[in-house]
Structure 1
Amino acid sequence: MSEMRDESVDDGFDDSLLEEELRQAAAILDPIPAELSRIAVEAFALRDLDAGLAELTFDSLVDALPIRGETDPPRMLTFRAGEVSLDIEVSAEGLFGQVMPPQSARIEVLSGLRTARSLAADDMGRFTDEAPPSGPFALRLRAGGEVVVTEWLRA
């Protein structure tokens, strides 16, 4: 007859001690890169709890076929949040975009802990920024009392 083990019996094994030893081993053998840790902290600091998240629905790096002869094509992105969409072109010349349906709006280009650059979309929803984003970036759209934030991307 097999003996059943009583789960309430203390076997003297300290789970918290094992967990701490595993954390220390992971920190030594597979540390988190400093750059990744910095980017994660910056992204968390810039979160906007009241904003809706705009889903990336098109990225030319993933969804488009390469154009023959084109050495540095612009990156085309489309984000959607409910009825609002944001079409963006990112190139060496800057950032160009349009809010759909067309409407005036404020767009902030977020990048790390640096101050966000603020852009104005005209009545047709068009906006430009002559400085292309570098490193991780996201956009925050404010239009008609609604706030929408895109996911973070690397330029």
Structure 2
Amino acid sequence: MNIAIGCDDAAVEFKNILKDYLVSLGYEYTDYSEAPKHSSNLYADVAERVARAVASNKHERGLIVCGTGIGVSIMANKVPGIRAALCHDVFSAVRARKSNGAQIITMGSRVIGPELAKTVLKSWLDADQIDESSLPKVQRIMELEDAIQLG
């Protein structure tokens, strides 16, 4: 699995630690942290790049980090078809996948330490299927998203 990753300037070192961890687990990644020429590189821009790459099925999953993980989560969720979850604990990370089908996990470098972040990330990566009881709920999210887009 090739994972889309990105960070803003508040989380470069944190992202690099998680990047190395992904490689140690056998994952490949594409880093969307750097802005294309003549573009902005605020956290919203990074989150949009990662979310669009996941929404277009270029990547199955994404990881976005900033200072708190909040702003990138908000922005990623604005991209149609994306379910991004801010997770700083294992239970939330697993439930983000199994209950909500979150394709993107976000974390904050100022909120969680790198060792716990690795554990949270691995738990999220290992949780690969939505629970059968949650399928109608995720389907409803997607139906409402479609209805909202249509206006």
Q: TM-score, normalised by structure 2?
A: 0.31
Judging by fraction of residues, say which structure has more strand: 1
Whose Rg is larger? Answer: 1
User: Could you state the TM-score of these two structures normalised by the residue count of structure 1?
Assistant: 0.30
